[in-house]
Amino acid sequence: MSAAKTDALAGGAAQGIEEKQTSTDPAQCSSASNEGQAFELVACKEDRRADSRLLARHLGIQHKNLFEQINAYKAEYEATGKLAFKTEASESGQTMRFALLNEDQCFLALSFSKNTHRVRELKVKMVQAFGEARRAAELRKAEYLPGYHAAHQTIHTLAAGSENERFIHMNFNRLVNKVAGIESGHRSGAALPQQALLIVAQMAAAQAMQGAADHKDGYNRAKQALAPLAALTQAQAAPPKLTAQEGCNG
């Protein structure tokens, strides 16, 4: 565990960012709006990081205050890794610059905050979020990547030199992504449950393709093999249906 993380968990600084709610901007939130909610990390290449806007929300402060602090202590933050910045348009249409913080940088930010109940709760959420990200990365390395290479080697064999081989691989990936509920290009940043589902779907599809006559037959076999899993995941994702009595209440 890094020094920044240890210091943050130990108690936080006596002085630092105040818990103040002085804005109604969407980047801020009420004092209770994030209570009980998990902290969601964002994908940054092969890494998982925390959006400084979301971190400010969970701290109950204005993002500009946190961002100013990050810039003021930039040397300290970069001692734990290179700072990543992004610029996006806010809901009001104004351009907003924010930081994507690694695990140590997050705990450094927390160490600059008073050790209130809210900050302590956020420390627990951070430990859970980055812990899950590490487990997902380990699962990807140990289970997903070997299965990925094996599946696409089978596809390569079935393609038999087709000039459309690239699209055959892409169609297979889209099929598996749909079952796992992952958007194209977002596999590396998928959460642990999605990574696990991705591995299962990929394995089932690869096994189904064994013995196929050609790539078209292989794709159809994979699609049929994944149909029950796709139906199950779609059923779990669908909102519960209200009965007539429930729909009339209120």
- Tell me, what's the pLDDT at 93? 81
pTM over 0.85: no
Residue pair 182/196 in contact (Cβ under 8 Å)? The answer is no
Q: Does 164 share its domain with 211?
A: yes
Residue 91 sits at the vertex; the CA angle it makes with 44 and 22, to the nearest 5 degrees, is: 100
Q: Give the pLDDT band (50/70/90) at residue 94.
A: confident
Q: What is the CA radius of gyration of the chain?
A: 23
Q: Is residue 227 part of a domain?
A: yes
- Tell me, what's the pLDDT at 18? 43
**Distance between CA 212 and CA 214 in Å, rounded?**
6
Q: Is residue 247 part of a domain?
A: no
Which position has the higher pLDDT, 37 or 222? Answer: 222
Q: Does 97 share its domain with 192?
A: no
pLDDT tens figures, 127-166: 999 998 888 888 888 888 899 999 999 999 999 999 999 9
Q: Is residue 8 part of a domain?
A: yes
Q: Does 150 share its domain with 207?
A: yes
Q: Which two tokens stand for residue 117?
A: 């109940």
Tell me what the mean pLDDT of segment 213-237 comes to.
89
| Domains contained in the chain, number | 2
Q: Which residues pair with 160 in a beta bridge?
A: none
Q: Does residue 249 have a pLDDT over 50?
A: no
- Give the β-pairing of 47-51 and 95-101: antiparallel
**Distance between CA 98 and CA 139 in Å, rounded?**
30
Q: Would you call 111 exposed, middle or buried from its count of C-beta atoms within 10 A (0-12, 13-18, 19+)?
A: buried
pLDDT tens figures, 192-215: 888 889 999 999 999 999 999 999
Q: Is residue 107 part of a domain?
A: yes
Q: Does 152 share its domain with 225?
A: yes
Q: Does 170 share its domain with 204?
A: yes
Q: Does 166 share its domain with 94?
A: no
Which position has the higher pLDDT, 222 or 4? Answer: 222
Q: Is residue 92 part of a domain?
A: yes
Which position has the higher pLDDT, 239 or 175? Answer: 175
Q: Which residues pair with 60 in a beta bridge?
A: none
**Distance between CA 70 and CA 84 in Å, rounded?**
11
CB-based contacts of 85: which residues, under 8 Å, 6+ apart? 97, 98, 99, 100
Q: Is residue 25 part of a domain?
A: yes
Q: Does 10 share its domain with 111?
A: yes
Q: Would you call 197 exposed, middle or buried from its count of C-beta atoms within 10 A (0-12, 13-18, 19+)?
A: buried
* Closest by CA position to 190, among listed 120, 108, 135, 234: 135
pLDDT tens figures, 38-80: 888 987 776 889 999 999 999 999 999 999 999 999 999 999 9
| DSSP 3-state of 92 | coil
Query: At which of 58, 82, 115 does a domain end?
Result: 115
DSSP run (H or E) holding 49: strand 47-51
- Tell me, what's the pLDDT at 54? 94
Quick one: CA torsion of 77, 79, 80, 83, rounded to 10 degrees? 50
Q: Does 158 share its domain with 212?
A: yes
Q: Give the pLDDT band (50/70/90) at residue 243.
A: very low
**Distance between CA 25 and CA 143 in Å, rounded?**
43
Enclosing domain of residue 80:
3-115
**Distance between CA 81 and CA 103 in Å, rounded?**
10
- Tell me, what's the pLDDT at 238? 56
Tell me which DSSP letter residue 161 carries. T
